[in-house]
Amino acid sequence: MRFLKAGCAFLIMLSILSGCATSIYVKVVKPAEVNMSGARKLAIFAVNIPSEGAMDSMTDVWKDTVLRIKKGKFRDSNSLRQDLAEYTTDNLISNLLNTKYFEIISPTDVERSIEYYDSNTIDPIMLGQLLGAEAIILSEITDMDLDKERFVVIETYVDEETEEEYEVEVPWIRKTVRLRFTYWVISTVTDRLIATKSFSQSKQHQVKEENSGSLRPTDLMYKDIINGNLAAMAKQLAPYEIWEARVMMNDKTKDPRMKEADNLVKGNIYEKALDLYLEIWYDTQNPAAGVNAAIMHEVLGDVDSALALIEEVINVSAEPKVMNEYKRLKRVKEDLIRLEEQMGKS
């Protein structure tokens, strides 16, 4: 991902019509849920599978993980569980690297650094000093459940000869998998927990019993859950880009200049559209012109001017669209402040 300056975090994709109102789509860089600005060099442990069920304490997971590494018993006897742990480890690293926000120290390097130290003395601060890491990620897969059930569906058919309807009991098979994934982010400076999150999800697939061979493989169903969880995890820890719609305010005054400005927006000529909306706003105090000019300021990367203008519009109009745009722009400004902090620009 290419991160943009906070004041220019909006890239224009295209313009479309949405009902009677003109809309445009913008690419927005959103701040992460967790501020990782001081912890961008991460040491990643291989995903753990507790031998005796889930451990909710980060301290317990740390001790269990380190001890298993020291004993060389990090593999699980259940091949599916072990394969999924390795799959999750590889994809966790890939997802975090793809953010272009983190530098990653691999599980192999983590395990090598622990090899010559007593498991009772190694702690996050010591590991951070050994590896130059600013934070550590521990994670585990737990609650892997698989259920299969047979059920009957009543299907209605029509006899081709008599054209009479009749019902048939058709057996189906439903497969359900459930998985829970938890991760902890620990500071190697303070030894404190930066974040802890859990994902718990299930997936189902069902087919007619006669087609039971086409049931989605169990491992792929688990991987579907893992992939979604890791994508969500990356957004929790690193800034990310999304496309959002900006809907212009409809003009009720029938000012021909407003139609001209809307056409400029549709043609992606945003600077000229801004100038014309501002001209109309200061000539007539038309709320639609003021709101649309504020949106143009935002699209062009000047959120401060957008907010200042929308506050002027609020003084002359209490229309819901005006208030909604004001609230939205306030959230945009808050996001930009958080983004600047996370990008180390505060």
Over its C-alpha atoms, the chain yields an Rg (Å, rounded) of 28
Q: Are 22 and 248 in contact (CB under 8 A)?
A: yes
- What is the pLDDT at residue 9? 41
Write the DSSP assignment of 132-179 as a string of letters: T-SEEEEEEEEEEEEEEEEEEEEEEEE-TTT--EEEEEEEEEEEEEEE
Distances (CA, A) of 272 to 22, 123, 296, 336: 16, 59, 10, 25
3-state secondary structure of 118: coil
pLDDT at 346: 40
pLDDT of the residue at 89? 96
**Mean pLDDT per 10-residue run, the chain (346 residues)?**
40 42 93 95 90 64 80 64 93 97 96 85 92 95 92 93 92 96 94 93 96 96 96 96 96 94 96 98 97 98 97 95 96 96 77
Report DSSP state, residue 315.
T
Q: Which of 222, 227, 226, 228 is CA-nearest to residue 204?
A: 222
The structure tokens listed for 104 are: 């990653």
Residues paired with residue 26 on neighbouring β-strands, in sequence order: 12, 244
Q: What is the pLDDT of residue 61?
A: 77
pLDDT value for 2: 38
- Retrieve residue 65's tokens: 């993980």
Which residue's structure tokens are 């926000």?
A: 101
Spatial separation of the C-alpha atoms in residues 199 and 234, rounded to whole Å: 13
CA–CA separation, 102 and 3 (whole Å): 13
Per-residue confidence (pLDDT) for residue 5, from 0 to 100:
41
Confirm if 143 and 178 have CB atoms less than 8 A apart.
yes
pLDDT for res 13 = 41
Domains parsed from the chain with CATH numbers: 41-238 (3.40.50), 249-341 (1.25.40.10)
**Residue 15: predicted pLDDT:** 39
Residue 17 sits at the vertex; the CA angle it makes with 15 and 21, to the nearest 5 degrees, is 110
Q: Which residues contact 195 (CB under 8 A, 6 or more apart)?
A: 34, 184, 185, 236, 237
pLDDT of residue 14: 37
Q: Which two tokens stand for residue 85?
A: 């742990």
Q: What is this structure's pTM?
A: 0.82
Kindly list the distances between the CA atom of residue 283 and the CA atoms of 108, 265, 294, 305, in Å, as whole numbers in the listed order.
67, 20, 16, 18
Token pair recorded at residue 312: 């002027």
pLDDT at residue 18, as a whole number:
39
